[in-house]
A and B are shown apart, each in its own frame.
Chain A
Amino acid sequence: MELISLLKGIISLLVILILSPLFVGLVNKLKAIFTGRIGAPLLQPYYDLKRLFRKETINSTNSSFISVVSPVINLVTVVVAAAMLPIGFARPIISFEGDIILFAYMLGLARFFQILAAMDIGSSFEGMGAAREATFAVFAEPIFFFTIGSIAFINGLTSIYDIYHSIRLDNVSYLVFIIVCSISVFFLAITECSRMPVDDPNTHLELTMIHEVMILDNSGIDLFLYQYSSYLKLFIYAILETSFFYPFGVRSYTVGVVIFVVVITILSIALSISETITSRFKMKNIPQYLLFATAIGILNLLIYTFTK
């Protein structure tokens, strides 16, 4: 039994590692279809990664050891965070009391080095991106706690795996709570993964972007690692989102996997629709957008606490 659950955990991690570029490809493809284009092939992110892998690495003349280690730290920490997430109802490889905090802080470590590496280039473009990333991260962090964290506090659970399991559809107020939470997390995912309307993953215009500008001067294997970890990050947030859609009372692995696939697909559609119909916000408005998501989370939590 132990071995099987470990095996399932490893499979979950492998699924995340292998399928994350596919998710990005799916979103991009759907987006192209909605805007009336044929779009790049579904597997384009894989081709991109392959191409980047074989390119020469160029570093800025100003760069130091930070630029060298940062892509690696980024990837490793994101992979460790990914190893804390269950797919289906399988226990993830890393699962212990309090891992929700470690999850948030692991992504914090990735961000810390990403920002430093951006500033390491010594150019104003990267500086802008880094400053924005640092600013928006400050407002994004509370959203995570007001959504996933609130379930943890309400149910007295501190492991992401247990939190997933605790979600049950027993009354209407809980259902409403979960649905609004999932919307909040969607907002969070958009910010953290630099998607529209916060950030445009397709442009390189320095005035309008956050994540892309930070890796503007990177190339070759460095860019490969950054891109891959950003794909992973998007997929991680997609999995967080799926956590809200398990309230069916069925606890079998197959059902869990089916729900996972369905939710991921729905999510990619939702993401591509939202990216099609919205345009980018002004930079000034992004904190407001994030505070709005936080406010939803707080209100939702208050309503739930007082109607219980």
Chain B
Amino acid sequence: MDLLFYALTIQIFSIIAIAILQDNRKASIAAHLLLITGLILGFAVSFSTLVFSNLSSQSFSAFGIPNELFRFDALGLFFLCIVQLVAIPTTIYSYSYLKHYLDEGKSIRSNLVFYAILLISTQMVVIANHAVLFLVCWEMMSTSAYLGMVFEKEKREVQKGAFYYLVISHVVVFLLYIFFFLLHHQTNSWLFSDFHISPESGNLFIALYILSLIAFGMKAGFMPFHFWLPRAHPIAPTVFSAFLSGIIIKSGIYGILRTFQFLNPTPEWLGWLVLVVSMISAIFGVWYALAQHDIKKLLAYHSVENIGIIGIGIGIGFIGSAYQSIPIQMLGFGGALLHTLNHAIFKSLLFIGSGVIYKNLGTRNIELMGGIVHRGKYFVMLFLIGSIAISGIPPFNGFISEFIIYNGFFTTAKELKNYYPLLMLISAVGLAFVGGLAVACFTKINSIMFLGSERKEVKHFHVSIYEYLSLGIFALLCVVIGFYPQPFIGIVNKVLNHGFVPGNSASELLKINWFFISLIFMTVLSGVLLFYFWKSIVQKKYGSRVSAAWGCGYGGLTPRMQYTASSYADELNEISQTVLVYHKKMKVPEGVFPIEGAFESHSDDLVDSKILLPIFRNISSLICRINFLSYTDIRYYIAFILIIISIYSLIAFLWN
């Protein structure tokens, strides 16, 4: 474990390198190299510990000194592996991304420093064992993400979007303070390893759970706390939005799973609460995504969907915990954990892909894209792999984790009987519905962005070797987990056996016939290759050529006459008009010689525009009422603080 700290130290050196080196380019190269070295070393250590050690020993010492600040239990290591695994290709991309800004002569130092701090603090968050250390790292993570986000701070939308993120992260931290103080009050310890409260403590148990679910749920982006995601993601630099969506929102999931370790077994209604909220997040997340035209905003809504899918797994696990059923817990939590890994991989891939597109085209509006496939064939292939994976379609990794969750539904129905088959069936239908919408959404963006002909002229489309490398690593992971899931299932199983569902060797996760599934995938792949060659032979024999698409005999088709993203999603949006707040403005061309017509469609977020924003507005107007206390002189404020402190101390004094 000493090595892990060396790895972290190497990463910290990158900040020093930025400080020392005067030349921007050299600083960038040195910092990235140090970060990647540190991350690879760290990943090697944490991964080998997770896979090879027996994980039974909870104690830990660094450099021979026993230490309670950090702990390397299965859950922490699993998340540490995810963070480091995803951070490696993201850092590779970061180099190429910042190079682009360097060429423009912009200073990238601050951005790079915040990125390094973000990486280090996120790694520390998942291995922290002391509540205070956890909160410090958490705060560092949130703040550095915010500071990195405002890279282009001169833009108005950047300030606005980042502000939402800043507010939400402080609300989260505030709630977490209460959460950990209450835990400390109950257990008289600050250490995660000592936190354990049984349901007998009644209301406190429930209060702690609700507190944790709200706090971590806000960070994860469950509905109705999802509103910061579609605001913060589009404006952040691509590196940060990839990391935000891939890793930081997962820290919320990490928190919820940790809470489960502190507070179990859960009551059944809590499982249902999580399941229903997650289902709503999944369905509406993807539905809102369908209505978006901004590629990054669309992907942000997809994060809400996928967090929902992870939450469904957690909900199943909670229900299993309520009934003390090991198979249900294994499948529920197992699906959630694997989907956390999978989502981190394919969402980073998609975000980095969108960053590459933005760099080349200078727009995030998918209505202005098209025909990219003729410019960068391999880039499109990589993006397509991510799209198929996120839609949960075989043979890639998204399917594997969704398959586990489906199995969770089946097992819950089988184990708990009664009305459970019906309820689980409805949940399965919900997940299938989400899958269908995701297919609609990702066929939309892939076809509009990449296929057909160019709607707006593309001057040049260049994907650098670093970008290919980072996208390639992610795509490879998608493929590997899809085609050969056994080792990953094994790791998830091990994590669950240590700390979640103890004392269980014959796992439900391993009982699924993974071998057969990968065999089928291989068959599909080889079948496709075989028929592809057969087809090309047949084509050679009977000829093939290229010709213009049929246009009712009209030869002057222009790229603008292609199908658009709005029309593609129109039918689905029409159906859910009220929820999407979807409205259209149309000016129909009239007369025998029509001159002009116009069409505009717009969609909003119901939760956002009709519920949350009015609440915020009311709060702010309420706060404005106490405006009479505002003075220009800072000494008044110091006096206020003193008065408040003395009131507090008086109360505390009298209390005792």
Contact = CB atoms under 8 A, between A and B. Distances in A.
Interface of A: 53-66, 68-69, 71-73, 75-77, 79-80, 94, 96-98, 101-102, 104-106, 108-109, 111-112, 115-116, 119-128, 130-132, 134-135, 137-142, 144-146, 149-150, 152-154, 156, 158, 216-217, 220-221, 225, 283, 287, 301-302, 305
A208 B445 CA distance: 24
A144 B451 CA distance: 31
A-B interface, 4 closest residue pairs, ranked by CB to CB distance from nearest: A127-B563, A119-B447, A122-B452, A156-B414
18 contacts: A56-B545, A57-B543, A58-B544, A58-B546, A60-B549, A62-B549, A80-B520, A80-B527, A105-B394, A105-B399, A108-B436, A124-B562, A126-B563, A127-B567, A138-B436, A156-B414, A158-B407, A302-B422
A149 B453 CA distance: 41
B103 interface: no
Interface string B408-436: 01100110000101101100110011011
B568 A127 contact: yes
B110 interface: no
A75 B524 CA distance: 10
B443 interface: yes
A41 B191 CA distance: 80
Interface centre among B410, B422, B443, B527 (most CB of A within 10 A): B443
A108 B439 contact: yes
B440 A53 contact: no
Nearest to A97: B513
A97 B512 contact: yes
Given A61-B547, A217-B550, 8 more contacts: A61-B549, A63-B546, A66-B373, A119-B563, A127-B562, A130-B447, A141-B435, A225-B535
Given A119-B447, A135-B571, A80 B523 contact: yes
A61 B413 contact: no
B421 A153 contact: yes
Contacts of B572: 134-135, 138
Given A56-B542, A56-B544, A112 B439 contact: yes
A191 B81 CA distance: 45
Contacts of B516: 94, 96
B249 interface: no
A142 B427 CA distance: 11
Interface stretch (B29-37, B274-282, B385-393): B385-393
Interface residues of B, number: 81
A146 B425 contact: yes
Nearest to B404: A98
Interface in B446-467: 446-448, 450-453
A221 B535 contact: yes
Contacts of A287: 571, 575
Contacts of A72: 528, 531-532, 535
Instruction: Identify whether the interface residues of B are mostly helix, strand, loop, or mixed.
Output: helix
A138 B528 contact: no
A69 B516 CA distance: 25
> What is the interface of chain A mostly: helix, strand, loop, or mixed?
helix
A119 B425 contact: no
Given A135-B572, A220-B542, A94 B531 contact: no
B548 A119 contact: no
A124 B562 CA distance: 5
A138 B436 CA distance: 5
A108 B435 CA distance: 9
A232 to B, nearest CB: 14
B538 A221 contact: yes
Given A109-B393, A301-B422, A119 B443 contact: yes
A60 B435 contact: no
Contacts of B446: 116
Given A80-B524, A112-B393, A142-B433, A158 B451 contact: no
B539 interface: yes
Nearest to A67: B451
B444 interface: yes
B571 A131 contact: yes
Given A141-B432, A144-B432, A105 B443 contact: no
B517 interface: yes
B19 to A, nearest CB: 47
A153 B419 CA distance: 11
A221 B545 CA distance: 12
- Scoring B394, B429, B523 by chain A CB atoms within 10 A of each residue's CB, the highest score goes to B429
B439 A123 contact: no
